[in-house]
């Protein structure tokens, strides 16, 4: 297959299953990040994913120019501040960029939930969207934890070197465990703001599973019976 034809095939797949591409990009960056943890390249990698993949997914599932414009308005300054903070060595810029990135991920998660609930027909892409929304919430709360740790030092402790700040991967791991209800607990919230964020993520995880995922599963089962 020639290169232009392959590009057309990928373009069609991206339009039919944008949520699958978003989920794949999130998981791929998750697999690659341990190789770059606590490096400038690692932070810029995650910023690049937010800048390109997340707003594009929002645009595909919701063609409203306003909705897409808000996503780009959050993504572009977030990545610009991340790159500027890494290049200049100014750590004060990273919590600001992390705040914008958290807002972007929560906004994108809300857009995907609206996309999944807009009718009573379940498509294959909506099933991918269920997984992508979970990762968006996990990333969003991880960025919120990063901001909380920057504003309130000592917000989180851990089983290993409990007094040092938690790394990004540790915060993301805690976010996944809290959101899924696993709660392994090697990273724990200590300060009151951190505990409030953890409680909000617990509420989000339970509510998301109860409302969105159960609805998609029940509609899929009903479609199979019919």
Domain boundaries, the chain: 3-225
Q: Give the per-residue pLDDT at 38.
A: 59
Percentages helix, strand, coil for the chain (3-state, rounded to 5) are 80, 5, 20
Of the CA atoms within 13 Å of residue 218, those in its CB half-sphere come to 9
Q: Give the per-residue pLDDT at 41.
A: 57
Tell me which residue has tokens 């599963």.
Answer: 217
What is the number of H-type helices and E-type strands within the chain? 9, 2
Distances (CA, A) of 127 to 35, 122, 217, 220, 222: 30, 7, 9, 10, 15
Cβ 178 vs Cβ 201: under 8 Å: yes
Q: Give the per-residue pLDDT at 200.
A: 95
What element of type H or E holds 191? Answer: none
What tens digit of pLDDT does each residue of 88-124 get?
777 788 888 889 889 988 998 888 888 877 767 777 7
Tell me which residue has tokens 């890494």.
Answer: 86
Q: What is the largest CA-CA distance in the chain?
A: 60
Write the DSSP string, 26-87: HHHHHHHGGGTTTSHHHHHHHHHHHHHHHHHHHHHH---HHHHHHHHHHHHHHHHHHHHHHH
SS3 89: coil
Measured on CA atoms in the order 93, 160, 37, 144, is the torsion positive or negative? negative
| Chain centroid to CA 16 | 21
Q: What is the mean pLDDT of each run of 10 residues along the chain (226 residues)?
A: 50 61 79 67 63 69 71 83 77 85 89 79 76 90 94 90 86 92 83 95 88 74 65
């Amino acid at each position: 297959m020639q290169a232009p034809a392959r590009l057309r095939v990928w373009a069609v797949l991206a339009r039919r299953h944008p949520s699958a591409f978003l989920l794949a990009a999130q998981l791929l960056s998750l697999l690659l990040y341990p190789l770059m943890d606590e490096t400038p390249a690692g932070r810029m990698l995650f910023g690049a994913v937010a800048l390109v993949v997340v707003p594009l997914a929002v645009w595909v599932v919701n063609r409203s120019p306003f909705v897409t414009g808000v996503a780009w308005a959050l993504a572009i300054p977030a990545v610009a501040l991340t790159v500027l903070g890494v290049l200049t060595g100014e750590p004060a810029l990273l919590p600001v960029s992390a705040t914008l990135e958290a807002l972007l991920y929560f906004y994108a998660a809300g857009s995907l939930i609206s996309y999944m609930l807009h009718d009573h027909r379940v498509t294959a892409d909506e099933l991918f969207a269920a997984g992508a929304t979970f990762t968006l919430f996990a990333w969003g709360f991880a960025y919120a934890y990063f901001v909380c740790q920057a504003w309130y030092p000592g917000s989180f402790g851990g089983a290993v070197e409990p007094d040092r700040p938690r790394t990004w991967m540790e915060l993301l791991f805690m976010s996944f465990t809290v959101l899924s209800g696993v709660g392994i607990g090697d990273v724990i919230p200590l300060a009151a703001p951190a505990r409030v964020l953890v409680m909000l993520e617990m509420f989000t995880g339970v509510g998301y599973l109860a409302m969105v995922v159960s609805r998609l599963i029940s509609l899929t089962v009903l479609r199979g019976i019919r």
